[in-house]
Structure 1
Amino acid sequence: MRNTLLTLATVGLAILGLYLLTQAEGSSGLLSALTLIFIWGIAAVSLNLINGQLGILSLGHHGFMLIGGYVTALLMLPEKERAPFRTRLLSDWARNHLDLDKWLRGAGLDFIANSIDLKFVVALFLAGLAAAVVGVIVGAPSLRLKGDYLAIVTFGFGEIIRLLPNAPEVAALTNGPLGIKGIPGDAGTVWWTFFAFLFVLWFLSRLKFSSYGRAFEGIREDEIAAEAMGVNLAYHKVLAFTISAFFAGVAGGLYASYLQSVDTQTFNFFVTFFLLVAISLGGLGSITGAVLGTAIVVLVRIYGGFLEQPYPAYVGYLGGAVVMLSAFAFSAYIRKARRLRPVVETKHLIFGALGVALLFVTVLFRNEPWMTQTVQFFGLRKILLAVILILIMIYRREGIMGRAEFSWKLIFGPREDIPTEEQRKQDAWLSNPDLNPDAAKKEDDDASA
């Protein structure tokens, strides 16, 4: 009960914070960043269901997002944007019949057709459903494979799906390489994406701690043992793949509404790459970690532009020193928190020594010409993400959260380094010779030896 109330209070505070942020001046940049975090968060936690909980490496997530984007665009495109001069490659049949508004009015559902929000709910559901159907078609045969072979097959399917809209035979439904523009941006707002994000988190967290989620984790740990326990491997693999594809399609529809356009370059392989970086940073198998990793990736990509500005060379040396010293301190903290010995290993000392050396060089030669000359490096945002990922893989391979999830017990529960009363009683029993004569006899034998 307490956890439920705390969760509801947190959601209420988040809604209040978003409302105040939308009313504040100059907050458009932050609202845009939050919107992208919510959209990519949905995509990341859906990919985490496959790569983290099920333990299967899938590289075709961008294809399912593209399906969701195109379905949403075709169904929600306004009448004026369907004019032939705007969708010149779209067939007359697609222009006239792939219209959700006409479908709803033909079915007598005018109250839904008159509401743009309700129409988007239906469109996003159909977008997710279309992606899920393709997920079943892709997953049923390909999930017979394992390891690198499965990764290659999913990557191939993802690229086929991405390039298919440009084919002349399919361009009549997708407008070919021109893409579709003029999509209503109502579902791409911070409120729409926030509530969609909350629903996906709730659904996937309930799924994770259900019997299906335990079956997924059993398959990840040992397929033979899971099958021996009665888990239907093919059914659960296809089920997880289908659910993941469904929410990827929803994320693609939201992103298409956010951009108000969609084409084959909107969802290229780099989308899947950044999602993989996000879930690897946060921790494979952790929904909390996937969200945290997504936030890091999005914020670095949006607010990391200052890294690519012209700076004196000594700023680069100083930045390298800070990164290495931070890595050294982080590794020491992790090993100490996990009670590992030694607290500082040799490879960690190397990073620390290099950081100190760079800092010493920066301070000592600060005014030298080669230190004060202006340099500019492009692509440092992607390089920074790569460096962060490398450091995580070296010092904490399981990611920031590992497979753990956020819980209120972490904040309000008992500290693990302080023994509970039950543990104190157990320790007292073990050390009391009157209650535990075997321990006393062992101590006497050790003393005599």
Structure 2
Amino acid sequence: MGARDSLTQRLLSLLFMTTVVCSAVAAYNVGPIPVPWAGHVLAIGGTVLLVLRTFRTPLLPGAGMFLFWGALLATTTVVQSMVHRYAGLMPELATTPYPIFLTLRFFNLLGFIFTAALTAWFIHRFGRQRMIRATTGIGAFFAFFALYVYAAQLLGLPEPPRSRLGTNGGEQAIQFDYAFHRALGSFREPSHLAEWLLVPFVLSFVSSDRQMIVRRLVMGLVLLLTGSLTGILSVLAGFGAALVFSPTNLGARLMTAFKLGVVGVAPYAVFQLLVKSNDSNSVSLFQVILDRVMPLIFGGGLKASNRGYVYEFVDAVPPPFWGHGIGNCNLVFSDYMGVPFITSMQSLYVNTLYAAGYPGLMMLVVAVAIPLVPLYTRPLSGIDPRHILLGLAGYFGWLVVFAVHAEELSVGFAIAYAFVATLLIDRQPVSAASNVPSPVN
């Protein structure tokens, strides 16, 4: 490899890690630009550099369907915007004009596609184990930062000023009506921090060396301190689905389930100590979760949750067969709600239904299913079973998040998607990771 190629590869690896870092700095702007958007620019630039320098990255299973899905969204949006006057629905607290608002929705979609491509290249070039080390290292760094911010908010210590508007279009909140003070870190909401930690936390179970144990502990602790029902249950559901549906040996899966339970004790114990030290009343995380889960099970399902307004809208305003177009559906929803800011539909599936109609929703389901099919139809020899199990846990976990909280494809899911989609393309056998300590402990 020439010196120029070597320099380019170093630059690409730096772009990958910087993209992940930018996705975590969600509460801050650089001038008028949110830092995560800058991360999308880096991912797009890195992938373009891949093409220009002809560093080949394999076409990921499902990538074609995601591209067709994006094309359908674009076509529907253009046609519907020409036929209907959605611009007149822009609320008074909207931060961008209508054309820019729509453009940014597609920009986020491009960010997902190019981040997945950059992640696949990083795995192909440097190996899955190095990708895990990089991702969990970044996750642990921002978990430590979240602990500092947590302490700073309680003790009156300085923290970086939050320069981005809150999710409701106003100033960011740092106090929330909850049973205990919630970790917020570098995000605008505790639930966003929990969702971002999902993939790094899951991947930290790949080995039991001291460094990875520390990373796992701090990320697990911060995940609990967010108090996010979505974040905590998505981790549990992701691991649960992976343990049930993983094509690996049943005995190994059962042993992994036992070890996961043991590992979860330490973060919970530290959580209880921290929460008690800041509150005169004893707080049980299990009770907090039960108080929120039981009404969902016995009191009307998701309609009884704090997302109930979304499903009331679904009942009251059926989606057009072809949808309103990306972004336009949020304007229709905000107009229905009568709020002065653009409202999230809190679900990728609901958003897709109203953006691209029933054809778009079907295409999305097919796109997320395609990477899973080869794991059940092709031989898995030469693939580390830990990578299969943990990749599926992160993948399924994000599918849960998309059901109840996130309406757009994310950097976290791009990493999980690339990780799973490359398992059979870039087979990296157990022997190649023989220097890695024993699996999940």
Both structures adopt the same fold (TM-score exceeding 0.5): no
Structure with higher RCO (Cα < 8 A, 6+ apart): 2
User: Which protein shows a greater Rg?
Assistant: 1
- TM-score of the two chains, using structure 2 as the length reference: 0.26
- TM-score of the two chains, using structure 1 as the length reference: 0.25
